[in-house]
Structure formats: structure tokens, C-alpha cells
Amino acid sequence: MTPQTLNTVAIVGAGLVGSGWALVFARGGATVRAFDADPALRARMPGRIRTMLEDMRGAGLVGSVDEALARITVCDTLEEAVGPADYVQESVLERVEVKQAVCAGIDAAMRPEAIVGSSSSGIPASAFTAGLKNRARFLVAHPVNPPHLVPLVELVPAPWTDPEILPVLRAAMEGWGQAPIVVNGEIEGFILNRLQGALLNEAWALYEAGLASAADIDRTVSHGLGLRWAFMGPFETIDLNAPGGIADYSARLAPLYHSIALSRKDPRPWSAEAIARAEKERRETLSADQLEARTDWRNRRLMALVKHLRGQPG
């Protein structure tokens, strides 16, 4: 199987992530067949995707809305969606028992040569595919929400995943406009959430100690680290932050970072008191009834950033 043969994609789970995935694949030229066990979600999916596409067209990120929508069919049964598929993207609730049941259904309905990726954020594929007949065709394909705007996809095989499907799916994801990475083994949280978790844990520790407000900690990232991180990662960042590159930077600052790490050698859970304080501070800035509107604002900002980055040299 080659990337060019992954022409028909099934979406199982029509929530926000599943709808974003459907847009990704349809925008990339694939025929998409979507299913959700909830009839209400199935009914809402086309309208939700149309709204997302119209927003993207307004930002100059897609051409014809109707052309992409025409590639998406919402199916009434799992078998109808999965049966013809070359690739299946499972995006159901993040609970082991739910994924086990849904993946068993996919296993029974899929073609033996199809590939199945799970949108799992942290549950490894080995936790819900062990007993499947076609388990060698399953792996995690974890997106960042919203997947149609943030292109990273973590491809995480189970111990029994056929290694030959990894380069096929990686190339197909790139063809659909995503930015896949391969995680060479199962680890809790994969790569993205472990990196995000390290920053979050330190942010909470600083906040709980009263060293800065939540708003100022956010500003440190949005007006500092995040500006570089929008187009380069931590290794390239430090490679460019010392005259002699990464080795020079490490010689200068590795002891400092080691000392900081040692200061957190007894990590604690985020405390209820700190969470309540942060919640109060955030709600004073953004009331609960404005969360959805602010999420839409975030997505528009992401669209503008994506458009800008696409126009820049690599």
C-alpha cells in the first residue's frame, strides 16, 4: 500500500475533533465517509464543517467550500463508513472501554489492508487493540485540536503495529497538509503532551508560589517563548541562541537548567486552592459565557498565523 492509495477515509466520531479531521481529509482531496453513534452529532456535522470551511475561506486558506463538502458523506452505520475505507480515523471519547468497543467494531468492518489511526491524546494503542484480528493495522494518530488549523500529528505504534504502515501513513498525512511525527515507542502522554505538561507543571508551581499572576505567566509565553516556538522547536531555538550553536549554549546554560530541574524534584499535583485562584482570575478577565466566542477568536488568530507561515520561506 502506498500513500496514493489512501483515497477513501472513514471518520468514526463526529465531535469537534472528528469534524476537524473530516475537513482535513476532504480539503486534501480524499473521499470522506463519517459516522457517529449519536444521530444528533451526525445531523450537525455537515453544518459544523461548512461553518469551519467558510471561516477558512474568509482567511484565504481554502478555495471552494462546496467542493470540499461534496467529498464528505455522513453514514448511518459504522459498517457503511468503514467498509470501503483505505484509512480510518477513530475519534471517540477518551476512555479505554469506549475505544475498545469502537475499535472492535472497526476491526470487524474494515478491509484487512486498511490502516486505522486513533485520535487518542494519551492512551496507547496497546490498551485498546490487543485482542483485535487486525491489530497490526492499528496505531495512534494523535492530532492537536483543532486539527484543520494545527497540523501536527503524532504517529505512535503499538508493539504489534506493522512497521511498514508508518512511512505510508506519514507520507499520506503530509499529502493531506498535516505535519506528522513518529514516536518510536509507547510512552504516557506521547511527545506533545509531555512537552506541554512540563511547561504547565512549572507554570502552576510558579503561580502557586505567588511569583506571578496567571496573566503575566501567559504573557511570558505569548509575547516571549511562543513567538519563536511558532516556527521553530527547542533544539533549533538554543542552536541559534549562542554564537557556537547547540554545544556552546549547553556549555553556558546546561548547569542552570539542571539546577532548575533539581528544584522541582518533588513535584506535586496542581492544588485545589491554586486552581480555584486561577479560575477566579480567568473568569474576571473572561466570563464563562464568553468562552465559546474567545475560542472562535483563537481559531481566527490561528488561521491568520497559518496563512502567514505558509507564505514564508522554509
Structure confidence at residue 187 (pLDDT): 94
CATH number among 3.40.50.300, 3.40.50.720, 3.30.470.10, 3.30.70.1730, domain 3-182: 3.40.50.720
Cell (9 digits) for 203: 507554570
Nearest-10 Cα torsion for 161, 164, 167, 169? -60
Residue type, 172: A
Chain position carrying cell 505504534: 157
Structure confidence at residue 293 (pLDDT): 95
Structure confidence at residue 3 (pLDDT): 61
Closest to 115 (Cα-Cα) out of 86, 153, 155, 83: 86
CATH topology of domain 192-310: N-(1-d-carboxylethyl)-l-norvaline Dehydrogenase; domain 2 (1.10.1040)
The series of mean pLDDT values per 10 residues for the chain, 314 residues long, is 83 95 96 97 94 92 92 97 98 96 98 97 96 98 95 98 97 97 95 96 96 98 95 95 95 95 90 96 96 93 91 83
> Are β-strands 152-157 and 179-182 bridged in parallel, bridged antiparallel, or unpaired?
parallel
Domain boundaries, the chain: 3-182, 192-310
Handedness of CA 300, 302, 306, 309 (dihedral sign): positive
